[in-house]
Structures are given as C-alpha cells and as structure tokens.
C-alpha cells in the first residue's frame, strides 16, 4: 500500500505558546513570563498561565514567536535571551516538526531579591 496522506494535522496557537513558555521558564535566569499585552513585566504570570506571555504568528508555514520574560537580577541578559531562543526553537521543532523563523525575546523587568 503506497504512503499517502491520511489528512492534515493542525496545532492550536495555544499549544505552541504553552511549549514555548514552559521551555523558556526552564532556562536559568528566567523568573517567569509576563502578559504579552502588558506594557512592562511587573506582573509575572503564574506557571499555569505563562503561555499568555507568548505571541504566536503562523503565516505561510512560517512560525514567528514573541516571548515576554522577566529575568533575575544576576542574569546576563544577552546570554539568557540567546538560550531562550535556542531552546524554544529546538523544542518546537522536536515536538511539532515546525520550523521557527524567529524567536524574539522582550525583557520587561529584572527581578531583585527584595521584589519577591
């Protein structure tokens, strides 16, 4: 029997956002995510809602992501952001087989111990 497509598979943007936010949250130096619609990162989202800190743009089979993060005060922001980009793109590729064109990271706040 020849290999033929049995139908299509579509993945909801929320699923992509969940994978991206959970992956980003595991990067050392990331405190959490903040709402994508917020003007700053003063409100860290609880882990169960961290996907709201990701904007997903899927057009013409090209995936662009925007992640809104809060970093620890001791973090080297360029290094942490680059690691977030790498790990998120890898996770999306491994789990969904989607090629990520861009992972843009927005740092909305830096958390100091007295902020906790």
Give tens-digit pLDDT for 23-55.
Answer: 999 999 999 999 988 877 778 899 999 999 999
- The residue among 63 and 4 whose pLDDT is bigger is 63
43-95 pLDDT, tens digit each: 889 999 999 999 999 987 789 999 999 999 999 999 999 999 999 999 999 99
CB 104 within 8 A of CB 65: yes
Within-domain flag for 4: no
**Inter-CA distances, 110 with 5, 7, 105, Å:** 48, 46, 14
Residue 116's CB is within 10 A of a number of other CB atoms, namely 7
In this predicted structure, the answer to whether residue 1 has a pLDDT above a threshold of 60 is no
Find the domain containing 94 and state its range. 13-115
Beta strand pairing call for 62-72 and 100-111: parallel
Q: pLDDT higher for 26 or 3?
A: 26
pLDDT at 14: 96
Rounded to whole angstroms, the Cα distance separating 100 from 116 reads 33
Kindly report the CATH number assigned to the domain that includes residue 90. Answer: 3.30.70.1350
Q: What is the DSSP letter of 1?
A: -
Calpha distance 86→88 (Å, rounded)? 6
Residue range 94-104: mean pLDDT, rounded: 95
Q: What is the pTM of this model?
A: 0.89
In a domain, 1, yes or no: no
Q: How many folded domains does the chain comprise? A: 1
- CA 50 to chain CA mean position, Å: 9
Could you tell me which residues come within 8 angstroms of residue 96 by beta carbon, excluding any fewer than 6 positions away?
11, 15, 16, 19
**Predicted local distance difference test score (pLDDT) of residue 116:** 58
What pLDDT sits at residue 72?
Answer: 96
Residue 5 lies in a domain: no
Structural domain includes residue 54: yes
């Amino acid at each position: 029997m020849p290999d033929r497509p049995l139908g299509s598979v579509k993945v909801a943007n929320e699923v992509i956002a969940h994978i991206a936010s959970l992956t980003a949250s595991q990067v050392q130096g990331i405190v959490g995510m903040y709402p994508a619609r917020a003007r700053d990162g003063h409100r860290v989202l609880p882990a169960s809602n961290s996907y709201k800190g990701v904007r997903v743009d899927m057009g013409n089979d090209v995936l662009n992501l925007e992640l809104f993060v809060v970093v620890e005060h001791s973090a080297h922001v360029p290094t942490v952001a680059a690691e977030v980009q790498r790990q998120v793109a890898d996770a999306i590729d491994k789990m969904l087989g989607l090629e990520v064109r861009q992972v843009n990271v927005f740092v909305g706040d830096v958390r100091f111990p007295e902020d906790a």
